[in-house]
Amino acid sequence: MNDLRHYETPLLPTPFHARTEAACKTHAWANWGGYRTVTTFEDLAMEHSAIRNTASVYDLCPMIKYRIEGPDAVAFLDRLTPRNVAKLRVGSVQYTVWCDDAGHLLDDGTLFRLTETRFRLCCQERHLPWLLDSAHGFDVTVTEETEEIAALSLQGPTSAEILRRAGVDIDALKPFRMMEVPFGMGRLMISRTGFTGDLGYELWTTPDLALPLWDHLMQAGALHGLRPIGSDALNIARLEAGFIITGYDFIPAHVCLREDRLRTPLDMGLGWLIDWEKGAFTGRNALMKQRAKGPDWAFVGLEIDGNIPADGAILYRAQKHEAGVVTGACWSPTLKRNIALAQLRADLVKSPDLWAEIYALRELHYAKMMMRARVVDRPFYTPARRTLTPPARF
């Protein structure tokens, strides 16, 4: 099993590599979870535009995937996560998080209920030891299946039309639901989910069908503006949609070294996920205590004056008292506004006197700006087509 020459390919190719490599004009590659992934194929603006105006494909293979199966799968997941898994219907997907004993976030992800007793958990970080420990005492098996699945995200206003042209009857599929169709010699699972906040789907199949799937979609989408996108374009779209990324917007507890950087779901504005009535789950005691006294932190969307992205900016009240930090920011091409996600002291969420300290490097000199920031509702952008069923025709 051990390939002694593994060091020659420290970053693995994904099952779509033959196509992504051919399409990647810029050779802008980055490491995502040990895989070679594209940051920008050709042109960032065009790629973001495809997400919002036509359609895009994005290689999701490096997403960590676990198969959770067994008679106690629901009980196991209800103890693992704060959300109520018993209420998740077969064929549905829920966004979820999980915590350690202290209620500190370990990760977020999506949970797919494939059958009564079989689930798939998709997430950013690797958690097999924690999941296996959590499985002790439950009649359930947890298997990492990251390499057994090829996943592709198809997002954008014309994505449904492209699937129709690809021969899939997609009209009845509602958001957070999934369906399965035959594809080639195997099967294709389609879920109406995504990370763009737009109309879109995620397609799941086996690695041997990855390239045929890519080619089939590209052919079907040729007249509908379908193009591959890299992580940079996706990041802008997810900021517009107000979605968080583990490791960017909060530091997961199992790798966090500094006690004051740990964050709970309540700190991250994810309290709505927690089912306080369902019974025990890991972290419940700690979260109940935090709920009683109120969290110290809030996670907010900001609009910031000017057009310089405020990545990593320190937030101030009255321009001098530290109030938080920007965890992700961009100039939103869709909204034509300067937006940011930020961790902000909970007592300052309603403050009218917030400022972001932005340093812009201009030809080896920093221009320092103190720009006014306003807390606004998230998501920044949520088009009606995201949930419209059946989706519009093009």
Partner 1 sequence: MPSFDTIVIGAGPNGLAAAHRLAKGGASVLVLEAGAVPGGGAAALAHLSYNLDPRVAEGMDLARHGLRWATTALPTTALAADGNHLRMEGVLGERLSGAVDPADIAAWAELRARLLRFAAVLAPLNAMTPPRPAADPKNPLLKLAMIGLKARMMGAAEFRELGRIFLTNVFDLLDDELRSPLLKGALAFDATLGSWLGPRSPNSVLPWLYRLSGQTEGRQGALGLPEGGMPALAAAMVKAATAAGVTLRCNARVERIDVADGTATGVTLTSGEQIAARRIVSALAPKTTLMSLVGPRHLDNGLYTRARLQKARGGAARLDLTLSALPDFRGADPTHRLLIAPSEHHVERAFNPVKYGEVPEEPVMEILIPTARTPAPDGLHRLSAIVQYAPHAPKDCTAARAAMLAACLLQLERHAPGIGAKVTEACLRMPYDIEAETGLPGGNWHAGELSVEQMLFLRPLPGIAQYRTPIAGLWLASAGCNPGGGVSGTPGWNAALAMEADR
Applying CB under 8 A, the residues found at the interface with partner 1 are: 75, 79-80, 100-101, 130, 133-134, 136-138, 279-280, 282-285
Six-digit token string for 213: 């799937």
Residue closer to partner 1 by CB (options 139, 215) is 139
Residue closer to partner 1 by CB (options 71, 137) is 137
- Of 302, 304, 300, 303, whose CA–CA distance to 371 is shortest? 304
Radius of gyration of the chain (CA): 21
If DSSP codes are grouped into helix, strand and coil, which group holds residue 202?
A: strand
Six-digit token string for 114: 């494939």
Residue 264 CA to residue 187 CA, distance in Å, equals: 38
Residue closer to partner 1 by CB (options 106, 189) is 106
Residue closer to partner 1 by CB (options 137, 247) is 137
User: Would you give the end-to-end CA distance of the chain in angstroms?
Assistant: 49
Q: Work out how close the CB of 280 gets to partner 1 at its nearest, in angstroms, rounded to a whole number.
A: 5
CB 189 within 8 A of CB 202: no
Q: Work out how close the CB of 102 gets to partner 1 at its nearest, in angstroms, rounded to a whole number.
A: 8
Q: Which residue has the tokens 């219907």?
A: 89
Residue closer to partner 1 by CB (options 277, 363) is 277
CB 75 within 8 A of CB 119: no
Burial of 258 (0-12, 13-18, 19+ CB in 10 A): exposed
Six-digit token string for 178: 């999934």
277's enclosing H/E stretch is: none
CB 88 within 8 A of CB 68: no
Residue 386 DSSP one-character state: G
> CB count, 10 Å around CB of 128?
12
Q: Work out how close the CB of 124 gets to partner 1 at its nearest, in angstroms, rounded to a whole number.
A: 19
Q: Work out how close the CB of 133 gets to partner 1 at its nearest, in angstroms, rounded to a whole number.
A: 4
Q: Give the length of the chain.
A: 394
Q: Work out how close the CB of 103 gets to partner 1 at its nearest, in angstroms, rounded to a whole number.
A: 9
Residue closer to partner 1 by CB (options 99, 168) is 99
Q: Work out how close the CB of 117 gets to partner 1 at its nearest, in angstroms, rounded to a whole number.
A: 17
Residue closer to partner 1 by CB (options 80, 330) is 80
Six-digit token string for 277: 């009535």
Helix axes 128-135, 73-80, angle to 10 degrees: 120
Residues whose CB falls within 8 Å of the CB of residue 259, separated by 6 or more in sequence, listed in order: none
Residue closer to partner 1 by CB (options 32, 66) is 66
Q: How would you classify the pairing of strands 200-205 and 226-228?
A: unpaired
Amino acid of residue 178: M
Q: Work out how close the CB of 90 gets to partner 1 at its nearest, in angstroms, rounded to a whole number.
A: 22
Q: Which residue has the tokens 């699945």?
A: 149
Q: Work out how close the CB of 99 gets to partner 1 at its nearest, in angstroms, rounded to a whole number.
A: 9
Residue closer to partner 1 by CB (options 136, 336) is 136
Q: Work out how close the CB of 282 gets to partner 1 at its nearest, in angstroms, rounded to a whole number.
A: 4
Residue closer to partner 1 by CB (options 106, 150) is 106
